[in-house]
Amino acid sequence: MYKVFVNEIPIILTTEKKIGKQYTSIPLKEVKFKKLINKINNGELLYVNIYHKNAEKLEKFLRKKLPVVEAGGGMVYNSKKEILFIYRNKKWDLPKGKVEKGESYEEAAIRETIEETGVKDLEVRKFLTKTYHVFKRNGKFKLKITYWFEMFSDYNGPLIPEPSEGIKKVKWKNFEKSQKALQDSYENIKLLFPKEYLTSHPNDRISQV
């Protein structure tokens, strides 16, 4: 299954014809993707499922329908189990950026994380997942596919936002602060986090009763 975000609304691509009553299910061969994006942007569609029995054809379909921009990103932990966040466009995000010619996805993720945050001595632990979202540039829709890696660094020096990329803040955040940041983040970023980060702590619920 794939989730492709258009203005925070996910288009679901799956091998299942029916995934819920609220979903409009469309067979892959009948999809007019740009029209679908416009309907979502106009608020005409909120729940969309594109289906095909062959899962491999789903991503091939995406790559054929829109120009693709590939990026690498890092979910960085330190020895305190804090996570490295950046703040830009009034949202908390994770460092990421476009893959340059000759780079691997992993190399791009490391370089972009260093450039955007100032953090050094990064160690890649594992590949996490890919995320997909549609954006518009110069009047044309494009598909960004970001390859995410879990990283570690024991760097405790100054954090340096990259102003040319519109980054206002860089912060290490513990579990509670990460939960709060994710309330003001992007849906595709939330996909990277374990579910406990996306729910309130039991003590918080008790205090609100």
Q: Is the pLDDT of residue 208 over 80?
A: no
Work out the average pLDDT over 95-109.
Answer: 97
Give the pLDDT score at 110.
98
Q: Within 13 Å of residue 110, how many CA atoms lie on the same side as its CB? A: 15
Distance of alpha carbon 11 from alpha carbon 203, whole angstroms: 35
Mean pLDDT of 97-121: 97
CB-based contact 188:3 (threshold 8 Å): yes
**The pLDDT of residue 183 is above 90:** yes
Q: Which helix (H) or strand (E) holds 20?
A: none
- Cβ pair 9, 49 in contact under 8 A: no
pLDDT, position 94: 98
Buried b (16+ CB within 10 A) or exposed e, 170-203: bbbbeeeebbebbeebbebbebbbeeeeeeeeee
pLDDT tier for residue 200 given thresholds of 50, 70 and 90: low
Question: Helix (H, G, I), strand (E, B), or coil: what is residue 75?
Answer: strand
| DSSP β-ladder status, 2-6 and 123-137 | parallel
Q: How far apart are the first and last CA of the chain?
A: 38
pLDDT > 70 fraction of the chain, expressed in percent and rounded: 95
pLDDT band at 93 (very low <50, low <70, confident <90, very high): very high
pLDDT of residue 48 exceeding 90, the answer is yes
SS3 label, residue 133:
strand
Residues 6+ apart with CB under 8 A from 36: 11, 26, 45, 48
Name the residue among 116, 111, 69 with its Cα closest to residue 95: 116
CB 149 within 8 A of CB 75: yes
Take residue 207 and report the two structure tokens written for it. Answer: 């205090």
H-state helical runs in 18-55: 33-41
Q: Can you read off the two tokens belonging to residue 37?
A: 């994006």
Q: Are 91 and 181 in contact (CB under 8 A)?
A: no
What confidence category does residue 90 fall into, taking pLDDT thresholds of 50, 70 and 90? very high
Mean pLDDT for the stretch of residues 21-33: 94
Query: What is the per-residue pLDDT across 121-157, written as a single tens digit (0 to 9) for each?
Result: 999 999 999 999 999 988 899 999 999 999 999 999 9
pLDDT score of 198 = 85
Please report where in the chains the tokens 């062959």 appear, as a residue: 54
- Give me the percent of the chain exceeding a pLDDT of 90: 87
Q: Are 13 and 50 in contact (CB under 8 A)?
A: yes
pTM value is 0.90
The domains found in the chain, sorted by start residue, are 2-65 (no CATH), 68-199 (3.90.79.10)
Query: Looking at 130-139, 176-185, 198-207, which range is the least confident one?
Result: 198-207
